[in-house]
């Protein structure tokens, strides 16, 4: 426990978690709504709050961790200011997503799941954006794009970075 107390943001994480737990206290099956609410407020579900959630819901830490680690959308750390998600599902793969991803990783200097040290950009994989007819697809800061190529995505990232 001493290791957790050293984390500078722990008091903020705990305060937000207490608020979220109180807001969902009487909901049946509240774990997913709680996790989504915490991530919306903090940008992530920090591992430091999992014991608080488990205790409040009378679940084991393993159960809470299992849910967080099962769903790809939950993050342990907040994404970069620009968040690019590349679809890796079958339809996008059939339209060149693997090659697109490899080239983009090379040009951005990031692997899937990584964030630049300065926090400016995160590159993530997703496994269906529901835009299969317009594959390959990507999502940039919540906006969906179809039939993308590397140049399109680099231009979009550059535009987003310029706005910030």
pLDDT in tens, the chain (164 residues): 223 334 568 899 999 999 999 999 999 999 999 999 999 999 999 999 999 999 999 999 999 999 999 998 899 999 999 999 999 999 999 999 999 999 999 999 999 999 999 999 999 999 999 999 999 999 999 999 999 999 999 999 999 999 98
Given a contact cutoff of 8 angstroms between Cβ atoms, the answer to whether 35 and 67 are in contact is yes
Three-state DSSP state, 121: strand
Dist CA 140 CA 133 (whole Å): 18
Count the neighbouring beta carbons within 10 Å of the beta carbon of residue 114: 15
Dist CA 60 CA 53 (whole Å): 9
């Amino acid at each position: 426990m001493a290791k957790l107390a050293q984390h500078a943001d722990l008091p903020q994480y705990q305060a937000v978690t207490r608020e979220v737990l109180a807001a969902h206290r009487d909901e049946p099956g509240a774990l997913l709504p709680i996790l989504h609410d915490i991530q919306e407020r903090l940008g992530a579900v920090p591992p430091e709050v999992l014991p608080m959630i488990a205790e409040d819901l009378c679940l084991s830490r393993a159960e809470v961790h299992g849910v967080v680690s099962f769903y790809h959308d939950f993050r342990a750390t907040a994404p970069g200011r620009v968040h690019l998600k590349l679809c890796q599902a079958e339809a996008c793969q059939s339209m060149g997503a693997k090659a697109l991803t490899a080239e983009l990783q090379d040009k951005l200097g990031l692997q899937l799941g990584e964030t630049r040290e300065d926090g400016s950009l995160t590159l993530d994989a997703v496994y269906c954006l529901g835009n299969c007819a317009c594959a390959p697809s990507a999502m940039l800061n919540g906006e969906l794009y179809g039939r993308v190529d590397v140049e399109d995505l680099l231009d979009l990232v550059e535009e987003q970075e310029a706005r910030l």
